[in-house]
């Protein structure tokens, strides 16, 4: 087998064609001393973040869209037993729920299960979901949404009076952000 046929059949020829371009890009980026992204590292301690009372869901916002180029927002829910979020659908973002403490009953796409510490659930956009803290202790749950933007809705909801929520106002605010209740 000649060299040209060998390189073609093993894919080495493609690698040799691609690698110089990649090396050249890395060298030019390092030569310019310019970062490849505008994102800055951020360390957030457990007790840090902006705390919001979102209709009984005590949220500590850790990462915002402004921190992540609007890729993701992350908050910690610290919620009392019995608190629940009614069934709803997001049209803009997917969510990930990770339980750190307590128990959370969650329904995603018609399937209901109990999340214990260490368990995770994924709720894609356009899929109905809901959750409720069960048991006798507060639940601590880390929630991520991507892309970011939902934090703006939470700020609006947190401005509502702390008494039982006016569901019409809640529905209007959530609707502006692509969330509808079932």
Considering the chain, what is the average pLDDT of its residues? 87
**DSSP code per residue over the chain:** --HHHHHHHHSHHHHHHHHHHHHHHHHHHHHHT--S---------TT-SEEEEETTEEEEEEE-TTTTTTS-EEEEEEE-TT-EEEEEEESS-EEEEEEEESEEEEEETTEEEEE-TT-EEEE-TTS-EEEEEESSS-EEEEEEEESS-HHHHHHHHHTS-SSS--HHHHHHHHHHTTEEE-
Give the mean pLDDT of 131-143: 97
**pLDDT exceeds 70 at position 7:** no
Give the mean pLDDT of 14-36: 51
Return the pLDDT at 12. 53
Which range, of 25-29, 55-59, 175-179, averages the lowest pLDDT? 25-29
Residue bearing the bigger pLDDT, 179 or 164: 179
Residue bearing the bigger pLDDT, 109 or 3: 109
- Condensed to tens digits (0 to 9), the pLDDT of residues 37-58 reads 789 999 999 999 999 999 889 9
Return the pLDDT at 23. 47
Superfamily per CATH, domain 50-181 = Jelly Rolls (2.60.120.10)
Return the pLDDT at 18. 46
User: What confidence tier does 32 reach under pLDDT thresholds 50, 70, 90?
Assistant: low
Return the pLDDT at 56. 86
- Condensed to tens digits (0 to 9), the pLDDT of residues 138-152 reads 999 999 999 999 999
pTM across the whole model: 0.79
- Condensed to tens digits (0 to 9), the pLDDT of residues 100-115 reads 999 999 999 999 999 9
Give the mean pLDDT of 66-87: 96
Give residue limits of the domains in the chain. Answer: 3-32, 50-181
């Amino acid at each position: 087998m000649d060299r040209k046929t060998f390189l073609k059949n093993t894919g080495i020829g493609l690698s040799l064609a691609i690698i110089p371009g990649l090396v050249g890009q890395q060298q030019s980026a390092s030569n310019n001393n310019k970062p490849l992204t505008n994102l800055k590292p951020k360390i957030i301690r457990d007790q840090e973040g902006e705390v919001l009372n979102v209709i009984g869901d005590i949220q500590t916002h850790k990462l915002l869209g402004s921190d992540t180029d609007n890729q993701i927002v992350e908050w910690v829910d610290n919620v009392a037993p019995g608190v629940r979020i009614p069934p709803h659908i997001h049209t803009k973002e997917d969510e990930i729920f990770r339980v750190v403490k307590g128990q959370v009953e969650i329904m995603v796409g018609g399937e209901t299960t109990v999340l214990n510490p260490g368990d995770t659930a994924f709720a894609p956009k356009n899929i109905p979901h809901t959750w409720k803290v069960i048991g006798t202790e507060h639940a601590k749950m880390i929630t991520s949404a991507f892309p970011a933007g939902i934090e703006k809705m939470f700020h609006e909801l947190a401005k509502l009076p702390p008494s039982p929520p006016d569901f019409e106002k809640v529905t209007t605010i959530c609707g502006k952000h692509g969330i509808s209740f079932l």
